[in-house]
Chain A
């Protein structure tokens, strides 16, 4: 299993990216999608996922809608316009981070 501490700082970006790809998603669906995409390497716990979703909702990056599905109520999360802009920013930040990390862990040093 992956070192979850390394992924912790990127959780919000992962959520925003998934919601950008899909019109709307619910909590369990997000955990399963991440597990499926990473072939079981990354497991997002509900203890980390829901507070992050609620924080994004409070910040106005996500909007919610509740629907009755399979005998129960389900809360779907969707990106707001502000959320769409933030997704682009967060992805840029993450790509920059990955680029810098690659330079640091795989330096092409020369003696010149």
Chain B
């Protein structure tokens, strides 16, 4: 019985697929990694069966057939990264610790504000939109740089979450400012401020968890 030797793609051929996908705007390393394995597995099967065709011929045929599907798949991959981050937030918000912390923060802030002057409160509120920039700094400038990460979908998509939080905190700041100008209501201000601070902590926790997930799965080391 004739046995068929499986054709395995070389490192250079794998690199060729990687570069091709990167040039086709599939920029995230984790997405490309899974696509490369899928494409390479299919190409290896075709090359093992044909024996006469070269890697480049098979690759060209494969891309003519499937490139559009892969590009469409890229968008789905990005959505999955968003869903992953969202699920982390949901887990945290649903937990009892979140509610307890919210109550604790509210209590601390409410009684602290009572002792502060109106100007000091205004100053605190003025800086609050910058809270989400703290985790941004930690993740991007310290950890990402330390671990020399390539572009990973989940980590980069966190950037959109930071922007969304910045906008939310900004809106809270405007609302609180308005309230302080007209008729200061410490209860209202405390609720908004405690929600802001807690969400800031939540953002740091989720950011670190997302980063740790990528470090663990992709075995990233410093």
Contact = CB atoms under 8 A, between A and B. Distances in A.
Interface in A56-82: 57-60, 64-66, 69-75
Given A45-B69, A47-B72, A54-B83, A72 B14 contact: yes
Specify the main secondary structure of chain B where it touches its partner. helix
B80 A51 contact: yes
A75 B41 CA distance: 13
A70 to B, nearest CB: 5
B92 to A, nearest CB: 14
A54 B80 contact: yes
Contacts of B72: 47
Interface stretch (B19-27, B30-38, B119-127, B130-138): B30-38
Given A50-B73, A50-B76, A64-B217, A71 B10 contact: yes
A46 interface: yes
Nearest to B76: A51
A4 B87 CA distance: 29
Nearest to B70: A46
A55 B81 CA distance: 9
Most chain B Cβ neighbours within 10 Å, of A28, A29, A59 = A28
A60 B213 CA distance: 13
A46 B217 contact: no
A70 B38 contact: no
B42 interface: yes
A82 B11 CA distance: 37
B69 to A, nearest CB: 5
A70 B10 CA distance: 8
A59 B76 contact: no
A45 B9 CA distance: 22
A74 B217 CA distance: 11
A93 to B, nearest CB: 22
Contacts of A46: 35, 38, 69-70, 73
Contact of B37 (A58, A60, A64, A75): A75
A65 B73 CA distance: 21
A84 B35 CA distance: 27
For A57, A60, A70, A72, the residue with the greatest tally of chain B CB atoms inside 10 Å of its CB is A72
17 contacts: A27-B37, A27-B38, A28-B42, A29-B41, A46-B69, A46-B70, A50-B80, A51-B73, A54-B77, A54-B80, A54-B84, A58-B80, A65-B217, A66-B219, A71-B8, A72-B9, A73-B218
Interface of A: 26-29, 45-47, 50-51, 54-55, 57-60, 64-66, 69-75
Q: Which 8 A-B pairs have the closest CB atoms?
A: A54-B80, A28-B41, A51-B76, A58-B84, A58-B87, A71-B11, A28-B38, A72-B14
